[in-house]
Amino acid sequence: MAARRTLIAPSILASDFSRLGEEVEAVAAAGADWIHLDVMDGHFVPNITFGPAVVKAIRDRTDKVFDCHLMITPADPYLATFAEAGCDIITVHAEAGPHLHRSLQTIRKLGKKAGVSLNPSTPESAVKYVLDEVDLILVMTVNPGFGGQAFIPACLEKIRRIRDMVGNRPIHIEVDGGITAENAGAVVAAGADVLVAGSSVFKGDGAAAYRENIHALKKAVQG
């Protein structure tokens, strides 16, 4: 299988929410490949962020892929609303409901790419039987709920096992949590091809700073 280009998906969780539309435009101009949307409900994770109305409000700020990570339970009642708001990829957690296969089928029937996410303590076997229903596997390398946490090194081996399990299927392996220029190379070497980065991208102020930060991540995974 040919090596894939590594995609950078800045998480707007780390942006200035008072200027959210401008922040999306700035990070898109700075070289982001996708825009990562962390949706939290204060129930599945100990934080509340934003919902579909906010996604819809910023959708016209860029034509970049909206990569929506639903850290909510139940997720099924909201899938159509997030699809209508403009999300291109909708990722649900394997731990968030009893009918993962059904949730993934629903996302695809809505015409969107389907993703499944795993918390650090959830084994990769949780997605073994849905591999033919997913376009993306999101490996959490921090416990979800808050930005700015440190990467959990033990997750590197988990990424390798998922890459082996995926084989030649056209599935993105995305990693989210504590990604920096210092560990990005090891994460990609383990098998990831999409890096979610919040704090390490939204350092400084504006597109020039964000461009430098994204460049540092991309440089770290080259070669």
Q: List, by residue number, the catalytic residues.
A: 38, 176
| Per-residue b or e along 65-93, where b marks 16 or more CB atoms closer than 10 Å to that residue's CB | bbbbbbbbebbbebbbebbebbbbbbbbb
For 193, residues 6+ apart whose C-beta sits below 8 A from its C-beta are 4, 5, 6, 7, 172, 173, 174
Cα angle for residues 41, 68, 156 (degrees, 5° grid): 95
CB-CB neighbours of 177 under 10 Å: 24
- CA distance linking residue 4 with residue 30, whole number of Å: 21
CB-CB neighbours of 137 under 10 Å: 28
First-to-final CA distance of the chain: 17
* Residue among 9, 3, 63, 69 nearest 34 (CA): 9
Tokens of 141: 């390398």
